[in-house]
Structure 1
Amino acid sequence: MTRARWAADVGVAALVVVLGLVEVWLPLESAMGEGSQAVSTLGIVAFAALLSQRRARPWMALAALLVWPVLGLAQGGRLQLLFFGQLVPVLVLVYSLARHAQGRLRWVAPLCGIAFVTTGDLFLPLLQEPSELIFHWAAVLLAFLTGHALRVSQERATREAVRAHEANASARERAVVAVAEERARIARELHDIVAHSVGMIVVQAGAAEQVVEEDPEFARRALSTIRTTGSSALAEMRRLVAMLRTPEAGVDFAPQPGIAALPDLVASAGESGLEVSLTTRGGGRRLPRGVELTAYRVVQEALTNVRLHSAATRADVLVDVGGDALTVQVTDGGPALPDDSPPGHGLVGMRERVALYGGTVTAEPSETGFTVRAVLPLEQV
């Protein structure tokens, strides 16, 4: 128990002593009977001393109810009857145990309090009026109900505070997860944009370097493609960065590419010298935007890998919109180029994208080259 609570309990006990002693020694009209003032003083102080343990040692505090019966037996029943020195401390004790005691003790307290006042009402001539019994019972029950109500209110407030704290912690955790997922998504977007565009630029630049003297016209077209690809990649990256900022007037929120943009992607790959055939089956069905973007990125990453890691001059792209799944397959004729560089993050990002929609990705050598196959489950939208 904290020092502040201990000081508060001692203060309550001291106040009980002061009120009781004033009632005995002033004396007040509420003091009745011919008992010894010294014995009353002893009873008041002893009861208050035990009452000071109302939160630290509640069972010891409950023993205070034995003080007056013991003194009464010792004095042969000759005791003063006190309102502030006897009844008020009993009410404070019942309230305190109902408010702070644990387990069964908080229910035992009112029963003991009622037993205490009932014993006095039955055996002390001055308290044998029915009105006295009713008043004492009502006062004890009121003290118990007040303590119990405050206890229930505090427990409810504590539960609400814990629930609010847990909800706040859960919200912070969800926010952290959302930020991490958004960062992963942005990383995938940047990788897809940069890897595709830079890969095409590298291929075009290499081809132009080899034929710049023999075929200036081809070199000019390659440089034009490099300029166009670089400008497109820069514009897409600017759009992505703009979406991360506070929306402002004039920011272009153009839709992300989908299956309808695949012919342009295939044509762009053809300009780099890679012949690509596109086959689409089951078209006309409306697909979720996220699934379409994922399919587009899978084809984009697979074609980028063909240009960077394969000597193939041709690739075949198949997009099959089935009843319950969208299948995307990119196959090249190989062979693979020797490459000692560490593996990139293209396939990892591809698998992460597809996994978000419950799909799978397989990437494995075929008879002559390499095949990337992604299957995305579909739901009717």
Structure 2
Amino acid sequence: MSYVRGGRRLLAGFRLPGGWRPSWMDLLLALAVAVAGQVESFGRQGLEPGQIRHPVPLAVGAVVAGALLVVRRRFPAGALLVLVAVGVGVRVVTDGLYYPAWHFYSTLILVHTVASAAELRSRRGAAGLACVLLAYLFLQTFQDNDLAEVMIGAIFIGVAYVSGILLRRQIDETLRLARQAARLEAEREERARHAVAGERARIARELHDIVSHNVSLMTLQAGGVRTMLAEEARRERELLLGVERAGREAVEELRLMLGMLRDPGGTGVQLPSAGLDQLGTLVAPVKDTGVAVNVSVEGRPRPLPPGLDLSAYRVVQEALTNALKHARASRIDVTVSYSPGVLILEVVDDGTGDGGGQSGGHGLIGMRERVAMFGGELSAGPAPGGRGYRLQARFPLG
């Protein structure tokens, strides 16, 4: 592991002008070409035909070719032109008696890099194609090339060039899909945020109605008690008057702070009339659609805080809507369980679709907001047995 970390630090410190640095693949290719060139130059040294009489120029050329592979992604066409010049120089110095294999391998690698660097229809792509043709023409300047050598060189150069084009197109497609996935993820998160904001706004409107109604009742009752007290109970009358004024101020503050969340055109305070005692009215329209709905109550029903009662009603309402709209259910069982410390709502359907709603489950988002507001928990998923959908909400009581 220490060698790996040391290699990473070495690569991180190896940078070219402009902050660019080569990849591990570039360094490995460069090392392979340079080492293979040394082996070829000195391993085939000799005076016989097919051997190398002047190994030093070829060895130096192999090192230069390796250095060009290091910068091939930064200057692909330029590196190919320099490689052709190196080949010409080595040929002049050695009288053209031997064509090194490292030059051919390096040419194929750089042709592939040039093809993958830019679109052919662009100016940069056209210039790269011209460099590739120049490199191929250099290969055909050797006098011992026959028709087979010409065809073999064309096949290798063509395959390297086409593979570079295919690689570039694959990379472009991958980047396009990645950008599209990022955009879709951002849109999904934005829709989820809007859904949460909308649900919180609706909850705030309902809580505004509930709190305003209760504070208004407290204020009226305090005023009624104050008028019933005798004149001698001046201290008590003053305290009740303070309570009455504080209640009116609280209602006014609620109106100013939360009134903007009410529906446009709303007038006055509207009392929420929905609650678990009206589940019969809620499921009646669902039954009219032909869906069998069974509502059962377990335990002894007890009065609930208005806000919790309304939220529990909305959870059941949203669960029924999702079961009809998304799960395509034919039967829905609604169970309301009362216990000393918790209220449990369970809605199970036999549908085959998604019970969470469209666009990533905005219905579930709203229900979770309502349940979490009272410190509860909501779970949703496939029903036991894998058939249908089950939703359960737990509201703590106490």
The alignment's TM-score, normalised by the length of structure 1, stands at 0.51
In 1, Cα distance between the equivalents of 2:174 and 2:202? Answer: 41
> Of 70, 86, 91, which residue of structure 2 is paired with 1:67?
86
The corresponding residue for 1:238 is 308
> Of 107, 116, 121, which residue of structure 1 is paired with 2:135?
116
* 1:166 counterpart = 2:252: no
> Are residues 231 and 189 of structure 1, via their aligned partners in 2, closer, same or farther at CA, if it must alter by over 3 Å?
closer
The corresponding residue for 2:335 is 249
Q: CA deviation at 1:37?
A: 2.6
Is residue 20–residue 85 contact of structure 1 (8 Å, CA) maintained in 2?
yes
Amino acid of the structure 2 residue aligned with 1:21: Q
Q: Which segments of 5 or more consecutive residues in structure 1 lack a partner in the other structure? A: 214-228, 254-381
Identity among equivalent positions (%) equals 27
The corresponding residue for 2:355 is none
Amino acid of the structure 2 residue aligned with 1:176: R
> Are residues 188 and 69 of structure 1, via their aligned partners in 2, closer, same or farther at CA, if it must alter by over 3 Å?
same
Is residue 43–residue 67 contact of structure 1 (8 Å, CA) maintained in 2?
yes
In 2, Cα distance between the equivalents of 1:95 and 1:184? Answer: 58
Is residue 61–residue 93 contact of structure 1 (8 Å, CA) maintained in 2?
yes
> Are residues 22 and 189 of structure 1, via their aligned partners in 2, closer, same or farther at CA, if it must alter by over 3 Å?
same
Amino acid of the structure 2 residue aligned with 1:124: F
The corresponding residue for 1:270 is none
Q: Which segments of 5 or more consecutive residues in structure 2 lack a partner in the other structure? A: 1-10, 15-20, 231-270, 276-303, 320-333, 337-343, 347-398
> Of 172, 182, 192, which residue of structure 2 is paired with 1:175?
192
Taking only aligned residues, the RMSD between alpha carbons, in angstroms, comes to 3.8
> Are residues 105 and 45 of structure 1, via their aligned partners in 2, closer, same or farther at CA, if it must alter by over 3 Å?
farther
The corresponding residue for 2:326 is none
The corresponding residue for 1:55 is 73
The corresponding residue for 1:187 is 204
The corresponding residue for 2:150 is 133
Q: CA deviation at 1:97?
A: 2.5
In 2, Cα distance between the equivalents of 1:239 and 1:79? Answer: 96
* 1:16 counterpart = 2:33: yes
> Are residues 32 and 109 of structure 1, via their aligned partners in 2, closer, same or farther at CA, if it must alter by over 3 Å?
farther
Amino acid of the structure 1 residue aligned with 2:136: V
Rg larger in 1 or in 2?
A: 1
Structure 1 stretch displaced more, 199-208 or 132-141: 199-208
Q: Provide Cα deviations, 1:323-358, integer angstroms capped at 9, x if missing partner.
A: xxxxxxxxxxxxxxxxxxxxxxxxxxxxxxxxxxxx
Q: CA deviation at 1:143?
A: 0.8
Q: CA deviation at 1:177?
A: 2.3
Q: Provide Cα deviations, 1:90-140, integer angstroms capped at 9, x if missing partner.
A: 00111122234686445433442333233332x32221x112111111111
Q: Provide Cα deviations, 1:242-290, integer angstroms capped at 9, x if missing partner.
A: 257797831689xxxxxxxxxxxxxxxxxxxxxxxxxxxxxxxxxxxxx
Is residue 9–residue 52 contact of structure 1 (8 Å, CA) maintained in 2?
yes
> Are residues 197 and 8 of structure 1, via their aligned partners in 2, closer, same or farther at CA, if it must alter by over 3 Å?
same
In 2, Cα distance between the equivalents of 1:232 and 1:14? Answer: 77
SS of residue matched to 2:72? coil
Q: CA deviation at 1:235?
A: 5.2
The corresponding residue for 2:60 is 42
In 2, Cα distance between the equivalents of 1:184 and 1:191? Answer: 10
Amino acid of the structure 1 residue aligned with 2:56: A
Q: CA deviation at 1:212?
A: 8.7
Q: Provide Cα deviations, 1:25-69, integer angstroms capped at 9, x if missing partner.
A: 3339xx947663333223222222223211233354122221112
Is residue 84–residue 135 contact of structure 2 (8 Å, CA) maintained in 1?
yes
Is residue 77–residue 128 contact of structure 2 (8 Å, CA) maintained in 1?
no
> Are residues 15 and 146 of structure 1, via their aligned partners in 2, closer, same or farther at CA, if it must alter by over 3 Å?
same
Is residue 95–residue 143 contact of structure 1 (8 Å, CA) maintained in 2?
yes
Residue correspondences, number: 232
Is residue 44–residue 52 contact of structure 2 (8 Å, CA) maintained in 1?
no
Is residue 99–residue 151 contact of structure 1 (8 Å, CA) maintained in 2?
yes
In 1, Cα distance between the equivalents of 2:83 and 2:208? Answer: 78
Is residue 36–residue 80 contact of structure 1 (8 Å, CA) maintained in 2?
no
Is residue 115–residue 164 contact of structure 2 (8 Å, CA) maintained in 1?
yes
Amino acid of the structure 2 residue aligned with 1:48: G
SS of residue matched to 1:249? strand
